[in-house]
């Protein structure tokens, strides 16, 4: 035993199978031989000497040495004279004589930027109150349940009057009820691991186990998650295993040589982002990353992880344009075989510990079987962001309606593959930054048409098979791109059209929750059927969405032009009375009020290959949804 550490824990870490290595490495409060103190453990195989330095020893590297305890490079020390919540780093003397000051890779809390030291942990006294949520998760079927996600960057959702960030506790008291009132089922947070640069939004990390100190201490973040769960809102967090910062105080050349990154700079360098790639084949790095994913799920009760930039992990030449920079695997391909193996291992481990977790891949490639089980050759995720749908749909919506007939395939093609994976439909932060314009500003036409197009886009996404995600500010119909250093344009709610969009998003989410046809069979071909994908000239599509209950379905009609169509025939499957139950052109949503007030009796004449049809008014630039409310008595008797 080394200060309450077993030989088994050490062995598993070096084998890449210690999935709770955060309980081994880092700084932990322990009691040893009747005395309480801090135990420090760090992995640095190329180090000659290591000392713990900080305010407690005036940053002098001769007072708190660590001892090497494994040939593979684990170092340990136990000290009783170091206070809690005090900055510290590891002073590492490398084999070539360099002296490096490094933050603890396993630190649980870090100093507020621009300071970079780790903090000795305060024992968490937080008592969770989400037992009901955790119990329901054990039997929760996410595939057949509604999932509507509000994506949030905590630093710019809303700020204090002086422009400073809200704390986790303040966000819990304001953001959570806001999201609940809008009808969302989940909040997705941009990365919350510690990062030095605000404008990286958390995607360039230095402290993988350290919840960022920008918004307060870690127990306050637990309070935030707890409040979400008490409001029946799940929490998903973006996680970044694909790359890490080059900052000198962090993981880069941690002990004087490449350790967490690949030794080959051609594999290590991510020139696109100016970062470094993890060495996915190194067992200790596997223990680090898999433990980190489990840590967020277990320690902070996170319900799901969106794995960022999966394609950049899977392909050795992801961001390489010049042949001289390209490298290939042993079979001659550019797949990173170690990354493939790591991702499969990651998902297998996560689901073995947290079977109800959502593991979502943000993958821009066309790789098949991303959400298939690993035993059939899949990557093992249970959801994939549908980047193809997002790109095609936004390209189509940006076209003037006059020209949309020439791009009709962009609208219909995503349905060809929508059931090949468990897809999520994202309208995320990536689509409203870097000159891409806001969603509203992407829409063509005058102001009325822009708002109508935006309502149609949101409604079409909600009716399309797949789970849903909208980035914050989308509910306000912001004209400006996301301004990551300012709060959302809340003043827009004083303007009628923007307030109407806000009410529309709220109504749309609650409508989605009310009708199982829109979510129960998202990933099953029985949940969707075309009525008419072929009306290219008028840019109108119609389809059916079904639930698991026999006979329960919705008829969805989308008109992507500003023309009102009267007495428009739509094939329906059963005779009866059809009622319009949702219309994005309703006046309360800022539309022109071209609604179908009266019920529509089906006509026993074949249309769209169906035995019945109804004649409806199709509103301009709008989605309208119908449901059979009453079946004739003689039909019921026959059944």
Question: Which residue numbers are catalytic?
Answer: 308, 362
Q: Do 576 and 629 touch, CB atoms closer than 8 A?
A: yes
Closest to 508 measured CA to CA, from 427, 616, 391: 427
- The token pair at 624 is 């309208």
Pairing of strands 148-152, 186-189: parallel
Q: Are 34 and 73 spatial neighbours (Cβ–Cβ below 8 Å)?
A: no
Query: Strand pairing of 269-270 and 26-32?
Result: unpaired
The CA distance from 133 to 136, in Å, is: 5
CA 89 – CA 555 distance, rounded (Å): 62
Sheet holding 67-68, edge to edge: 26-32, 35-43, 74-79, 67-68
- Report the distance separating Cα 517 and Cα 544, nearest Å: 9
Q: Which residues of 217-235 are buried (b: 16+ CB within 10 A; e: fewer)?
A: bbbbbbbbbbbbbeeebbb
Separation between Cα atoms, residue 634 and residue 604, nearest integer Å: 14
Closest to 91 (Cα-Cα) out of 215, 254, 246: 254
Q: Are 583 and 560 in contact (CB under 8 A)?
A: no
Distances (CA, A) of 443 to 89, 164, 225, 412: 51, 33, 35, 19
Contacts of 385 (CB under 8 A, 6+ apart): 306, 360, 361, 362, 363, 423, 424, 426, 428, 469
Which pairing describes strands 67-68 and 207-211: parallel, antiparallel, or unpaired? Answer: unpaired
Query: Quick count: other Cβ atoms within 10 Å of Cβ 404?
Result: 20
Residues 149, 311, 366, CA angle at the centre, nearest 5°? 85
- Helices 447-463 and 496-514, interaxial angle, to 10°? 10
Q: In b/e form, how buried is each residue of 594-614, taking b as 16+ CB within 10 angstroms?
A: bbbeeebebeeeebbebebbb
* Cα atoms found within 13 Å of the Cα of residue 474, Cβ hemisphere only: 32
* Tokens of residue 347, six digits: 């998902």
Cα 508 to Cα 628: distance, rounded to the nearest angstrom: 20
What is the C-alpha radius of gyration for the chain, rounded to an integer number of angstroms? Answer: 27
**How far is it, in rounded angstroms, from Cα 228 to Cα 551?**
35
Region of 593 (left: φ > 0; alpha: ψ -120 to 50; beta: rest) is left
- Residue 170 has which token pair? 């303040």
- On whether the CB atoms of residues 151 and 472 are closer than 8 A, the answer is yes
């Amino acid at each position: 035993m080394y200060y309450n550490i077993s030989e088994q824990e050490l062995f598993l870490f070096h084998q890449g199978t210690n999935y709770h290595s955060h309980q081994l490495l880092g700084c932990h409060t322990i009691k040893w031989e009747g005395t309480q103190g801090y135990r420090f453990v760090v992995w640095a195989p190329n180090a000659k000497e290591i000392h713990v330095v900080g305010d407690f020893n005036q940053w002098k590297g001769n007072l708190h040495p660590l001892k090497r305890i494994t040939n593979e490079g684990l170092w340990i020390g136990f000290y009783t004279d170091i206070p809690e919540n005090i900055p510290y780093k590891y002073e590492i003397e490398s084999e070539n004589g360099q002296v490096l000051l490094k933050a603890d890779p396993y630190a649980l809390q870090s100093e507020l930027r621009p300071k970079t030291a780790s903090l000795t942990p305060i024992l968490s006294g937080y008592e969770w109150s989400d037992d009901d949520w955790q119990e329901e998760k054990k039997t929760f079927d996410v595939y057949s349940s509604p999932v509507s996600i509000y994506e949030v960057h905590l630093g710019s959702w809303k700020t204090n009057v002086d422009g400073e960030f809200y704390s986790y506790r303040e966000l819990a008291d304001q953001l959570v009820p806001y999201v609940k009132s809008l009808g969302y089922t989940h909040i997705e947070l941009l990365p919350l691991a510690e990062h030095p640069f605000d404008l990286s939004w958390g995607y360039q990390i230095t402290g993988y186990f350290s919840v960022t100190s920008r918004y307060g201490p870690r127990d306050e973040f637990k309070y935030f998650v707890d409040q979400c769960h008490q409001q029946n809102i799940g929490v998903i967090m973006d996680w970044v295993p694909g790359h890490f910062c080059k900052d000198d105080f962090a993981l880069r050349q941690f002990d004087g040589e490449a350790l967490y990154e690949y030794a080959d700079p051609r594999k290590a360098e991510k020139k696109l982002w100016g970062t470094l790639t993890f060495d996915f084949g190194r067992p200790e790095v596997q223990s680090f990353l898999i433990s980190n994913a489990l840590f967020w799920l277990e320690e902070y009760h996170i319900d799901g992880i969106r794995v960022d930039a999966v394609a950049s992990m899977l392909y050795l030449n992801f961001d390489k344009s010049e042949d001289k920079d390209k490298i290939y695997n042993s079979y001659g391909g550019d797949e990173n075989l170690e990354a493939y193996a790591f991702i499969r291992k990651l998902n297998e481990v996560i689901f073995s510990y947290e079977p109800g977790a959502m593991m979502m891949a943000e993958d821009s490639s066309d790789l098949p079987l991303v959400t298939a089980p690993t035993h059939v050759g899949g990557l093992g995720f249970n959801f994939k962001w549908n980047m193809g749908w997002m790109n095609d749909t936004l390209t189509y919506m940006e076209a003037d309606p006059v020209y949309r007939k020439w791009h009709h395939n962009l609208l219909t093609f995503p349905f060809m593959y929508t059931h090949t994976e468990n897809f999520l439909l994202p309208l995320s932060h990536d689509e409203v930054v870097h000159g891409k314009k806001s969603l509203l500003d992407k829409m063509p036409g005058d102001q009325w048409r822009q708002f109508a197009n935006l309502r149609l886009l949101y409604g079409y996404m909600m009716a399309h098979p797949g789970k849903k995600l909208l980035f914050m500010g989308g509910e306000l119909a912001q004209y400006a791109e996301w301004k990551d250093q300012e709060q959302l344009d809340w003043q827009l709610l004083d303007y009628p059209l923007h307030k109407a969009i806000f009410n529309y998003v709220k109504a749309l989410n609650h409508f989605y929750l009310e009708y199982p046809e829109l979510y129960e069979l998202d990933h099953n071909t029985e949940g969707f059927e075309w009525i008419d994908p072929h009306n290219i000239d008028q840019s109108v599509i119609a389809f059916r969405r079904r639930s698991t209950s026999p006979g329960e379905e919705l008829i969805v009609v989308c008109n992507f032009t500003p023309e009102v169509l009267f007495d428009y025939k739509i094939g329906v499957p059963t005779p009866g009375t059809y009622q319009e139950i949702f219309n994005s052109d309703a006046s309360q949503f800022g539309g022109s009020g071209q609604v179908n007030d009266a019920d529509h009796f089906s006509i026993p004449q074949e249309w769209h290959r169906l035995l019945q049809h109804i004649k409806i008014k199709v509103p301009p630039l709008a989605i309208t949804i119908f449901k059979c409310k009453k079946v004739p008595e003689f039909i019921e008797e026959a059944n």
